[in-house]
Amino acid sequence: MIFDILTIFPSMFTSPLGESMVGKARERGLIEVRVHNIRDFASGRHQMTDDRPFGGGEGMVMKPEPIVGALRAIAANGPTAATILMTPQGRLFNQETARRLSRLPRLILICGRYEGVDERVADYFTDDQLSIGDYVLTGGELAAMVVVDAVARLLPGVLGNEGSALEDSFSEPVLEYPHYTRPRDFEGLSVPPVLLCGNHETIRRWRRTQALLRTRMRRPDLFERLELSPEDRELLEEGKN
Protein backbone atom coordinates (compact mmCIF):
# COMPACT_ATOMS: atom_id res chain seq x y z
CA MET A 1 0.00 0.00 0.00
CA ILE A 2 1.19 3.53 -0.77
CA PHE A 3 0.79 6.51 1.57
CA ASP A 4 1.40 9.97 0.09
CA ILE A 5 1.60 12.69 2.75
CA LEU A 6 1.38 16.40 1.90
CA THR A 7 2.87 18.69 4.56
CA ILE A 8 4.89 21.85 5.05
CA PHE A 9 6.97 20.10 7.72
CA PRO A 10 8.25 16.89 6.08
CA SER A 11 11.01 16.33 8.65
CA MET A 12 8.37 15.61 11.30
CA PHE A 13 7.80 12.21 9.68
CA THR A 14 11.41 11.01 9.55
CA SER A 15 11.66 9.29 12.92
CA PRO A 16 8.03 8.20 13.59
CA LEU A 17 7.71 6.48 10.20
CA GLY A 18 11.17 4.95 10.35
CA GLU A 19 10.80 3.08 13.64
CA SER A 20 8.93 0.10 15.04
CA MET A 21 6.26 -1.68 13.02
CA VAL A 22 5.84 0.97 10.33
CA GLY A 23 9.59 1.24 9.80
CA LYS A 24 9.93 -2.53 9.45
CA ALA A 25 6.98 -2.69 7.07
CA ARG A 26 8.66 -0.08 4.89
CA GLU A 27 11.95 -1.97 4.92
CA ARG A 28 10.17 -5.16 3.84
CA GLY A 29 8.32 -3.39 1.04
CA LEU A 30 4.89 -4.01 2.56
CA ILE A 31 4.07 -0.31 2.52
CA GLU A 32 5.53 2.74 0.81
CA VAL A 33 5.41 6.17 2.44
CA ARG A 34 6.12 9.24 0.33
CA VAL A 35 6.32 12.60 2.10
CA HIS A 36 5.85 15.65 -0.13
CA ASN A 37 6.71 19.22 0.84
CA ILE A 38 3.82 21.48 -0.14
CA ARG A 39 6.24 24.42 -0.34
CA ASP A 40 7.86 22.79 -3.37
CA PHE A 41 4.65 23.52 -5.27
CA ALA A 42 4.27 27.14 -4.14
CA SER A 43 5.14 29.99 -6.47
CA GLY A 44 7.17 33.10 -5.73
CA ARG A 45 10.53 33.68 -4.12
CA HIS A 46 9.23 32.99 -0.61
CA GLN A 47 7.13 29.93 -1.57
CA MET A 48 4.20 31.10 0.55
CA THR A 49 1.66 28.42 1.39
CA ASP A 50 -0.71 30.56 3.46
CA ASP A 51 -2.44 33.94 3.31
CA ARG A 52 -4.91 36.10 5.24
CA PRO A 53 -8.58 35.00 5.19
CA PHE A 54 -11.12 36.86 3.07
CA GLY A 55 -13.64 38.59 5.31
CA GLY A 56 -11.09 39.29 8.01
CA GLY A 57 -10.34 37.39 11.18
CA GLU A 58 -7.35 36.08 13.04
CA GLY A 59 -4.77 33.65 11.73
CA MET A 60 -3.81 32.46 8.29
CA VAL A 61 -5.37 30.02 5.81
CA MET A 62 -3.50 27.53 3.65
CA LYS A 63 -3.65 28.55 -0.02
CA PRO A 64 -5.27 26.23 -2.56
CA GLU A 65 -2.70 26.52 -5.37
CA PRO A 66 0.24 24.72 -3.69
CA ILE A 67 -1.92 21.90 -2.36
CA VAL A 68 -3.75 21.31 -5.62
CA GLY A 69 -0.47 21.57 -7.50
CA ALA A 70 1.01 18.88 -5.29
CA LEU A 71 -2.05 16.66 -5.73
CA ARG A 72 -1.90 16.93 -9.51
CA ALA A 73 1.83 16.35 -9.63
CA ILE A 74 1.72 13.13 -7.62
CA ALA A 75 -1.58 11.78 -8.96
CA ALA A 76 0.03 10.12 -11.96
CA ASN A 77 2.74 8.45 -9.88
CA GLY A 78 1.05 5.25 -8.73
CA PRO A 79 -2.44 3.72 -8.56
CA THR A 80 -5.62 5.71 -8.09
CA ALA A 81 -5.69 7.20 -4.61
CA ALA A 82 -8.26 8.32 -2.06
CA THR A 83 -7.46 11.87 -0.92
CA ILE A 84 -8.12 12.70 2.73
CA LEU A 85 -7.79 16.03 4.51
CA MET A 86 -6.76 15.80 8.16
CA THR A 87 -8.79 18.48 9.95
CA PRO A 88 -10.57 18.96 13.31
CA GLN A 89 -13.77 19.45 11.27
CA GLY A 90 -13.59 15.96 9.76
CA ARG A 91 -15.41 12.77 10.63
CA LEU A 92 -14.04 11.00 13.67
CA PHE A 93 -11.44 8.42 12.68
CA ASN A 94 -12.11 4.98 14.18
CA GLN A 95 -11.20 1.33 13.72
CA GLU A 96 -13.91 0.71 11.15
CA THR A 97 -12.59 3.58 9.04
CA ALA A 98 -9.06 2.18 9.39
CA ARG A 99 -10.30 -1.20 8.12
CA ARG A 100 -12.03 0.42 5.16
CA LEU A 101 -8.95 2.42 4.22
CA SER A 102 -6.70 -0.63 4.54
CA ARG A 103 -8.51 -2.18 1.57
CA LEU A 104 -7.40 0.64 -0.73
CA PRO A 105 -4.19 0.56 -2.78
CA ARG A 106 -3.20 4.13 -1.99
CA LEU A 107 -4.00 7.04 0.35
CA ILE A 108 -3.11 10.71 0.01
CA LEU A 109 -3.18 12.53 3.36
CA ILE A 110 -3.20 16.33 3.40
CA CYS A 111 -1.94 17.87 6.65
CA GLY A 112 -3.84 21.06 7.41
CA ARG A 113 -2.24 23.93 9.34
CA TYR A 114 -3.02 27.36 10.82
CA GLU A 115 -6.72 28.28 10.75
CA GLY A 116 -7.34 25.60 8.16
CA VAL A 117 -7.24 24.89 4.44
CA ASP A 118 -9.03 26.93 1.77
CA GLU A 119 -12.51 25.42 1.61
CA ARG A 120 -12.26 24.89 -2.15
CA VAL A 121 -9.60 22.26 -1.53
CA ALA A 122 -11.85 20.44 0.93
CA ASP A 123 -14.94 20.71 -1.29
CA TYR A 124 -13.52 19.82 -4.69
CA PHE A 125 -10.18 18.04 -4.30
CA THR A 126 -10.64 15.57 -1.45
CA ASP A 127 -12.66 12.41 -0.98
CA ASP A 128 -13.00 12.62 2.78
CA GLN A 129 -12.08 14.68 5.84
CA LEU A 130 -10.96 13.00 9.06
CA SER A 131 -10.24 14.02 12.63
CA ILE A 132 -8.57 11.86 15.28
CA GLY A 133 -10.43 13.47 18.18
CA ASP A 134 -12.41 16.40 19.52
CA TYR A 135 -9.41 18.61 20.18
CA VAL A 136 -7.19 20.89 18.11
CA LEU A 137 -3.56 20.17 17.21
CA THR A 138 -1.10 22.64 15.71
CA GLY A 139 -1.31 20.74 12.44
CA GLY A 140 -2.45 17.59 10.73
CA GLU A 141 0.94 15.88 10.79
CA LEU A 142 0.40 13.97 14.03
CA ALA A 143 -3.08 12.98 12.88
CA ALA A 144 -1.67 11.69 9.59
CA MET A 145 0.86 9.58 11.51
CA VAL A 146 -1.98 8.07 13.51
CA VAL A 147 -3.86 7.14 10.34
CA VAL A 148 -0.76 5.59 8.73
CA ASP A 149 -0.04 3.53 11.85
CA ALA A 150 -3.63 2.36 12.35
CA VAL A 151 -4.10 1.43 8.70
CA ALA A 152 -0.68 -0.14 8.15
CA ARG A 153 -1.03 -2.61 11.02
CA LEU A 154 -4.13 -4.07 9.36
CA LEU A 155 -2.28 -4.94 6.15
CA PRO A 156 -1.23 -8.55 5.54
CA GLY A 157 2.23 -9.36 6.85
CA VAL A 158 2.77 -6.14 8.80
CA LEU A 159 2.10 -7.63 12.24
CA GLY A 160 4.14 -10.63 13.33
CA ASN A 161 0.97 -12.31 14.56
CA GLU A 162 -1.95 -11.84 12.18
CA GLY A 163 -4.40 -12.68 14.96
CA SER A 164 -3.31 -9.70 17.04
CA ALA A 165 -5.28 -7.20 14.97
CA LEU A 166 -8.42 -9.32 15.31
CA GLU A 167 -8.28 -9.12 19.12
CA ASP A 168 -7.51 -5.40 19.34
CA SER A 169 -9.75 -3.00 21.20
CA PHE A 170 -12.41 -1.61 18.84
CA SER A 171 -12.27 -4.61 16.49
CA GLU A 172 -15.81 -4.76 17.81
CA PRO A 173 -17.28 -2.05 20.08
CA VAL A 174 -15.60 -3.50 23.16
CA LEU A 175 -12.28 -2.74 24.85
CA GLU A 176 -9.60 -5.41 25.03
CA TYR A 177 -9.21 -7.59 28.14
CA PRO A 178 -6.28 -6.93 30.56
CA HIS A 179 -2.89 -8.47 29.80
CA TYR A 180 -0.20 -9.84 32.15
CA THR A 181 3.29 -11.25 31.67
CA ARG A 182 6.29 -12.33 33.76
CA PRO A 183 7.08 -12.05 36.60
CA ARG A 184 4.15 -13.81 38.22
CA ASP A 185 4.51 -11.62 41.33
CA PHE A 186 5.68 -8.01 41.15
CA GLU A 187 6.06 -5.97 44.35
CA GLY A 188 3.27 -7.94 45.99
CA LEU A 189 0.98 -7.72 42.95
CA SER A 190 0.08 -11.12 41.52
CA VAL A 191 -1.23 -12.26 38.15
CA PRO A 192 -4.89 -13.38 38.38
CA PRO A 193 -4.86 -17.12 39.21
CA VAL A 194 -7.29 -17.90 36.38
CA LEU A 195 -4.57 -17.12 33.83
CA LEU A 196 -2.35 -19.78 35.36
CA CYS A 197 -4.95 -22.56 35.44
CA GLY A 198 -4.17 -23.95 31.98
CA ASN A 199 -7.86 -24.29 31.08
CA HIS A 200 -8.25 -22.40 27.79
CA GLU A 201 -12.04 -22.23 27.94
CA THR A 202 -11.99 -20.84 31.49
CA ILE A 203 -9.41 -18.26 30.44
CA ARG A 204 -11.43 -17.29 27.38
CA ARG A 205 -14.56 -16.71 29.46
CA TRP A 206 -12.62 -14.67 32.04
CA ARG A 207 -11.08 -12.50 29.35
CA ARG A 208 -14.45 -11.87 27.69
CA THR A 209 -15.97 -10.98 31.07
CA GLN A 210 -13.17 -8.51 31.80
CA ALA A 211 -13.51 -6.95 28.36
CA LEU A 212 -17.25 -6.45 28.82
CA LEU A 213 -16.92 -5.04 32.33
CA ARG A 214 -14.10 -2.74 31.29
CA THR A 215 -16.10 -1.41 28.34
CA ARG A 216 -19.21 -0.83 30.45
CA MET A 217 -17.19 1.09 33.04
CA ARG A 218 -14.80 3.08 30.83
CA ARG A 219 -16.72 3.52 27.58
CA PRO A 220 -20.48 3.31 28.19
CA ASP A 221 -21.00 4.87 24.76
CA LEU A 222 -19.40 1.80 23.16
CA PHE A 223 -21.19 -0.59 25.48
CA GLU A 224 -24.56 0.77 24.37
CA ARG A 225 -23.70 -0.15 20.76
CA LEU A 226 -22.62 -3.68 21.63
CA GLU A 227 -24.93 -6.51 20.63
CA LEU A 228 -24.70 -8.80 23.65
CA SER A 229 -24.89 -12.52 22.99
CA PRO A 230 -26.62 -14.86 25.46
CA GLU A 231 -23.15 -15.84 26.70
CA ASP A 232 -22.21 -12.18 27.16
CA ARG A 233 -25.27 -11.62 29.34
CA GLU A 234 -24.42 -14.70 31.37
CA LEU A 235 -20.82 -13.54 31.85
CA LEU A 236 -21.92 -10.08 32.94
CA GLU A 237 -24.28 -11.62 35.47
CA GLU A 238 -21.51 -13.81 36.81
CA GLY A 239 -19.21 -10.75 36.92
CA LYS A 240 -21.43 -9.13 39.52
CA ASN A 241 -20.44 -11.78 42.02
Q: Please confirm whether the linkage preceding 183 is cis (ω < 30° from 0).
A: yes
Residue spans of the domains in the chain: they are 2-162, 169-239
Query: Is 88 assigned a catalytic role?
Result: yes
pLDDT at 161: 62
**Contact partners, residue 218, CB within 8 Å, separation at least 6:** 175
Query: Is 153 assigned a catalytic role?
Result: yes
Residue 23 has pLDDT above 90, yes or no: yes
Q: How do residues 185-240 score in pLDDT, each as one tens digit?
A: 989 989 999 999 999 999 999 999 999 999 999 999 989 999 999 999 999 999 88
Tell which CATH classification among 3.40.1280.10, 3.20.20.70, 1.10.260.30, 3.40.980.10 matches the domain 2-162.
3.40.1280.10
Predicted confidence band at 57 (pLDDT cuts at 50, 70, 90)?
confident
Single-letter amino acid, residue 211: A
pLDDT at 166: 53
**Contact partners, residue 138, CB within 8 Å, separation at least 6:** 113
CATH number of 169-239: 1.10.1270.20
Predicted confidence band at 78 (pLDDT cuts at 50, 70, 90)?
confident
Which of helix, strand or coil describes residue 194?
helix
Among 26, 53, 88, 176, the active-site one is 88
Question: d(Cα 57, Cα 133) in Å, to the nearest integer?
Answer: 25
Say if residues 128 and 82 touch (Cβ distance below 8 Å): yes
Among 26, 34, 115, 216, the active-site one is 115
Nearest Cα to Cα of residue 208 among 161, 163, 160, 175: 175
Among 153, 205, 214, 219, the active-site one is 153
Residue 98 has pLDDT above 70, yes or no: yes
Predicted confidence band at 164 (pLDDT cuts at 50, 70, 90)?
low
Four-CA torsion 45, 50, 53, 59, nearest 10 degrees: -120
Q: What average pLDDT score do residues 92-119 get?
A: 95
Among 149, 168, 172, 176, the active-site one is 168
Sequence-ordered strand ranges (E) for the chain: 2-7, 32-37, 50-51, 61-62, 82-92, 106-111, 128-131, 185-186, 189-190
Q: What average pLDDT score do residues 127-137 get?
A: 95
Q: What average pLDDT score do residues 113-138 get?
A: 94
Q: Across the chain, how many H-helices and E-strands are there?
A: 9, 9
Let me know if the fold of 2-162 is the same as that of 169-239: no
Query: Is 168 assigned a catalytic role?
Result: yes
Q: Is the pTM of this model over 0.95?
A: no
